[in-house]
Amino acid sequence: MTLETPRLILRQFAADDLDRMSELMANKDFMRFSMGPMTREQTQSFLDKVIGWDRDGLPSQFAIILRSSGTLAGYCGFFHHEVDGKMEIEIGYRLDSAFWNRGLTTEAARAVRDHGFRDLKLNYVISLIHPKNHPSRRVAEKNGMTLEWQTTFRGFPTFVFAITRKQWVKLRCEI
């Protein structure tokens, strides 16, 4: 499955994305508000995981490709997490800092959200965000999500933003 937006192509990851993804995931800006930069081996595990989800037909991550240059600039898509004892589907994203603040992640996140509700028939999606991660909070808000509760995730204070299918339908009617 490939998603298209005015400026982006969101495609499934492939094994030969390892070099570029290793470069991105070794970068501290790209990995802000995470456990930190990743080694090539850890990036390989990330790719194995998301390619496995694709193969199994599960909600998964997309590579963000800039139409203008063909550059693989980051990822946006679904993760599977246990949050407060319940399995949740999260929309998560990271973008090369060279392209921040152009609305690109919002464009990607909206396409992923629409895909989740329209094609995958999800009922509820969340985004897990550190309270100090203001850009990520803005992306979640622009994605129609609202702050639902605060928790601790992987040892960090975390805001849980969410949108229900019902809220998404209402949002679509208002556009």
Ligand X SMILES: CC(C)(COP(=O)(O)OP(=O)(O)OC[C@H]1O[C@@H](n2cnc3c(N)ncnc32)[C@H](O)[C@@H]1OP(=O)(O)O)[C@@H](O)C(=O)NCCC(=O)NCCS
Can you give the binding site for ligand X, defined by CB under 6 A?
32-33, 93-95, 100-106, 129, 133-136, 138-139
Q: 37 or 135, CB closer to ligand X? A: 135
Written as one string, the DSSP assignment of the chain is: --EE-SSEEEE---GGGHHHHHHHHT-TTTT-SSS----HHHHHHHHHHHHHHHHTT---EEEEEETTT--EEEEEEEEEEEETTEEEEEEEEEE-GGGTTSSHHHHHHHHHHHHHHHTS--SEEEEEE-TT-HHHHHHHHHTT-EEEEEEEETTEEEEEEEEEHHHHHHHHHH-
- Taking the least distance from each CB to ligand X, the nearer of 97 and 164 is 97
Q: How far is the CB of 95 from ligand X (least distance, A)?
A: 4
CB nearer to ligand X: pick between 65 and 95: 95
* Cβ 50 to ligand X shortest distance, Å: 16
User: Quick one: 47 or 64, whose CB is closer to ligand X?
Assistant: 64
Q: Quick one: 56 or 128, whose CB is closer to ligand X?
A: 128
Q: How far is the CB of 121 from ligand X (least distance, A)?
A: 25
CB 57, min distance to ligand X, A: 25
Q: How far is the CB of 115 from ligand X (least distance, A)?
A: 17
